[in-house]
Amino acid sequence: MTPFLAELIGTASMILLGGGVVANVVLKGTKGHNGGWIVITTAWAMAVFVGVTIAGPYSGAHLNWAVTIANLALGKLDLATSLLYMTAQLLGAMTGAFTVWIVYKDHFDQTQDAGAKQAVFCTAPAIRNLPINLISEIVGTFVLIFTILHFTDASLIRADESTPIGLGSIGAIPVAFLVWVIGLSLGGTTGYAINPARDFGPRIMHAILPIKNKAAFDVAYAWVPIIGPVLGALIASTLYLAIY
């Protein structure tokens, strides 16, 4: 499997299961309706576990623009490879979101709440305050990237400068716990996108799919889960380089 295909399939699998649990909890008439935040954060952590398990041996399992941008900032990837990874992640996220819609189509049709239907695809703030919402995404992503860099064996960084550092560098189980605790502790403000591809790709699919009574694209907020994680990744990688 090529790194491009690994990133695409790994990200698609992550979004299928992550978006799937949100659909199961928020859409009308599902078996898991009103399952709650613990169900969502736990399944999202396990969704990351699945994506990392699939992509880890082939690409390092970035599955996230923030991880790839951190690698670029650290000099672990060149620009062309970074753009290839990011394209695969975006396409994978769109594919996963489309599949969730197919699986839960009957429940989308029965659900009247436009916000609930949009929540299956992308994040939204609990309280709309764009500066604070941006800070929330920056902090959550900073924790993700900074922890990944510390979990990664230092010898890997120094011994082979061509090895991309991704979620797979940690191992699937530790990164699942990392994503879980970020969701439980910091996810209540914005829904913890902490991954531009995870939010932007499904948001595009929500906009183009024939979903009845759906919410608007919300361009006024859509930049937050893109810019916030990018800034969080850059701050984390810059601090790591300054310290080490």
pLDDT category at 168 given cuts 50, 70, 90 is low
User: How many domains would you assign to the chain?
Assistant: 1
Alpha carbon separation from 148 to 117, 224, 231 (Å, rounded): 32, 22, 16
Structural domain that includes position 39: 3-243
Residue 180 sits in a domain whose CATH number is 1.20.1080.10
Output the pLDDT for position 165: 60
Output the pLDDT for position 150: 84
Output the pLDDT for position 239: 96
| Cβ pair 108, 19 in contact under 8 A | no
Q: Where are the beta strands (DSSP E) in the chain?
A: none
pLDDT tens, position by position, 108-152: 999 999 999 999 999 999 999 999 999 999 999 999 999 998 876
Within 10 Å of residue 33's Cβ, how many Cβ atoms? 13
Output the pLDDT for position 151: 77
Question: Cα-Cα-Cα-Cα dihedral of 8, 135, 179, 183, to 10°?
Answer: -120
Structure tokens at 211: 């979903």
Output the pLDDT for position 209: 98
In this predicted structure, the answer to whether residue 172 has a pLDDT above a threshold of 90 is no
| Mean pLDDT (whole number) for 30-57 | 96
Structure tokens at 92: 């994978």
| Cβ pair 141, 234 in contact under 8 A | no
pLDDT tens, position by position, 59-110: 999 999 999 999 999 999 999 999 999 999 999 999 999 999 999 999 999 9
Residue 116 CB-density burial (10 A; 0-12 exposed, 13-18 middle, 19+ buried): middle
Q: Which of 29-33, 82-86, 156-160, 172-176 has the lowest mean pLDDT?
A: 156-160
pTM, two decimal places: 0.93
Output the pLDDT for position 102: 98
| Cβ pair 62, 196 in contact under 8 A | no
Rounded-to-integer distance, Cα 141 and Cα 242, Å: 18
Rounded-to-integer distance, Cα 26 and Cα 120, Å: 8
DSSP state, 209? S
Structure tokens at 133: 């919402």
Distance of CA 15 to the CA centre of its chain: 8
Output the pLDDT for position 152: 60
pLDDT tens, position by position, 182-241: 999 999 999 999 999 999 999 999 999 999 999 999 999 999 999 999 999 999 999 999
**Residue 127 phi, psi (nearest 5):** -125, 120
